[in-house]
Amino acid sequence: MENFDYVIVGAGSAGSVLANRLSEDERTTVCVLEAGPSDWHPFIHIPAGFMYTLVNPRVNWLYTSEPSAWTGGRRIAAPRGKTLGGSSSINGHIYNRGQRLDFDGWAQRGNRGWGYADVLPYFRRTERRLVPEADPTFRGSDGNLPITDLEWRDPLCEAFIEGAVQMGIPRNRDYNGAQQAGVSYVQRIIQNGRRVSAARGYLHPAMKRRNLTVRTHAHATSLMFEGNRAIGVHYRKGGRDGAAVEVRANKEVILSGGAVNSPQLLQISGVGPGPLLRSLGIEVKHELAGVGENLRDHYAPRFVARVKGAPTINEKSHGLRLVGEVLRYAVSRKGILSLNPTLIYVFWKSDPAVDNYDLQFTFTPASYKEGVQSTLDDFPGMTIASWQQRPDSIGYVRSKSADPFAAPTIQPNYLAAESDRRVLLAGMKIARKLICSPPLQKYYDREEFPGVQAQSDEDLMTAAKQRGTTTFHLMGTCRMAPDSDPTAVVDDQLRVRGLESLRVVDASIMPTMPSANLNASVLMLAEKAADMIRGKPALEAVTLKD
């Protein structure tokens, strides 16, 4: 058995940040257990390689969610990264923080120190914004992760933006600045045509340190306790049939396995809802009703239109043109291989009367077979997706057995809340206007999906059921909340309630969904947690004008 001060389970977005920050103190020893392999595969680093990593079992847990009424009884793929960098090694590269009111909402729920003014310095600490005019109130300049603007320009994207502007949606120079609302090209964690995952930005630079040990192919199977104190982790080296190993934590065990695996590891270790654990024959060490509950995700239907008069990514991805693109990327790191899945973002309101921007849209001059993002259509196509930013529908992650290698039940209950369906419907109507706006008319051939015959609210909801997909933002399953909340799993220092020397630091602690893709917020919360764990004072809150 080996001993370290800290044992971190999972080398994903959060685990990579923690590994780096905790090992900055050379008197401290840190061990990271990662179930997946090293991140050597070239398709992790080439931006368009997401189409490969999205479906590859070597670097992806390849979960699926349970069927539900509003997915038309479909199971929906729920990919999760399984390699150094975790989901930041297979994600869509987008950098998007959310709105001020998201984090003020976290604080208003009784989570001290998590308001926007408190978290903004940690967002800044993660990033190196490589744009000269970045506003230093909001943007960082010397963090670990380079945030760049998309340089790609094409007639379809330009026409799409012009169309949005004509509909009254203003251009926004920086949706991660003072205001999120508007239309703009995306900001990405890509530099010189290569993905910068949390592993590349945080973990690999720290792996030179002698006090940091990173174990790959190390699947944590249960937590070790002495009374109420977490003292270490059991893991298997190389999978189910591999050697059983124990690693001890002198100070703390930190779970950074992500929104699916952290609650599962707690549950199979006897920490979770008593009735569930008993039904699985798991001895209850510590009853915590909220473990695995409060799951939320973004659910996005897509409109696809056939394009005329301008090339789309679809044709460039086939035959000789693809060969040309590969050569172009090899020489200049430019072209379609340097692109992420969506190129333009719009943040807008479902209704002028609502007081916040509750809709997000993404546009790309490409389209995917059956809406699944791993195979492009053979015809020239463009796609717009829309989703409700802060969903009310709540689901769960529940172990199906005590077996740590068995996938748990993932039930997001997409669109179960009437409010989500109402906002989504409004979003679909706006999306349809955006994809055939007057400036796009010269390129718009016809609507492929759902097709112009789908006009009524019922038709649109049928389309949402047929082809809606996740946008990969599972969160909330080890919710941070005050004691008074029966679903609380961690306190505002991210310590598991009722236990000692055990924290959860990953997307699962988020109390509610930020109006954003999640990676930026996970990086932020891991930076903040690192200061808590090291006993350092929090970075000074920013003074913001109202």
Ligand X SMILES: Cc1cc2nc3c(=O)[nH]c(=O)nc-3n(C[C@H](O)[C@H](O)[C@H](O)COP(=O)(O)OP(=O)(O)OC[C@H]3O[C@@H](n4cnc5c(N)ncnc54)[C@H](O)[C@@H]3O)c2cc1C
> Which range binds ligand X by CB under 6 A, 81-89, 330-338, 375-383, 416-424?
81-89
Smallest separation (angstroms) from ligand X to the CB of 422: 25
Q: For ligand X, which stretch binds (CB under 6 A), given 75-83, 222-230, 272-280, 297-305? A: 75-83
Phi, then psi, of 295 in degrees rounded to 5: -65, 135
Smallest gap, in angstroms, from Cβ of residue 521 to ligand X?
A: 8
> Nearer Cβ to ligand X, position 440 or 490?
490
Q: What are the backbone angles phi and psi of residue 128, rounded to the nearest 5°?
A: -120, 95
Cβ proximity to ligand X: between 14 and 460 the closer is: 14
Going along 173-226, which residue ranges are E strands?
Answer: 182-185, 187-188, 190-191, 194-195, 212-215, 218-226
H or E element that contains 204? helix 204-206
* CA neighbor of 499 nearest in space, from 342, 282, 274, 266: 266
Does residue 146 interact with ligand X by CB under 6 A? no
Plot region of 415 (φ>0 → left; ψ -120 to 50 → alpha; else → beta): left
Assess 520 for contact with ligand X (CB under 6 A).
yes
| Residue 473 designated active-site | yes
47, 49, 92, 272: residue in contact with ligand X (rule CB under 6 A): 92
DSSP 8-state class, residue 371: G
Asked if 150 is part of the footprint of ligand X (rule: CB under 6 A), the reply reads no
Rounded to whole angstroms, the Cα distance separating 546 from 544 reads 6
Task: For the CB of residue 177, give the shortest distance to ligand X in the complex, in Å.
Answer: 17
Smallest distance, ligand X to C-beta of residue 240, A: 12
What is the rounded CA–CA span in Å between residue 158 and residue 64? 36
- Do 57 and 348 contact (CB within 8 A), yes or no? no
Q: Which of 56, 65, 256, 477 binds ligand X (CB under 6 A)?
A: 256
Does the footprint of ligand X cover residue 315 (CB under 6 A)? no
Count the site residues for ligand X by CB under 6 A.
Answer: 43
Among 18, 22, 35, 431, binds ligand X (CB under 6 A): 35
- When asked if residue 87 is in the footprint of ligand X (CB under 6 A), the reply is yes
Q: Is 507 in the site for ligand X (CB under 6 A)?
A: yes
Q: How far apart are CA 2 and CA 247, in angstroms?
A: 5
Using CB atoms, what's the residue nearest to ligand X?
A: 12
Check residue 47 for interaction with ligand X (CB under 6 A): no
The CB-of-544 to ligand X minimum distance in angstroms stands at: 23
Phi and psi dihedrals of 305, rounded to 5?
A: -120, 145
Q: Is the dihedral of CA 262, 496, 398, 472 positive or negative?
A: negative
Alpha helices in 313-383 (DSSP H): 313-316, 319-332
Per CB under 6 A, 367 contacts ligand X: no
Catalytic residue IDs: 473
Chain residues in the site for ligand X (CB under 6 A): 9-15, 33-36, 54, 79-82, 86-88, 90-94, 96, 218-220, 256-259, 261, 265, 472-473, 506-507, 517-520, 522
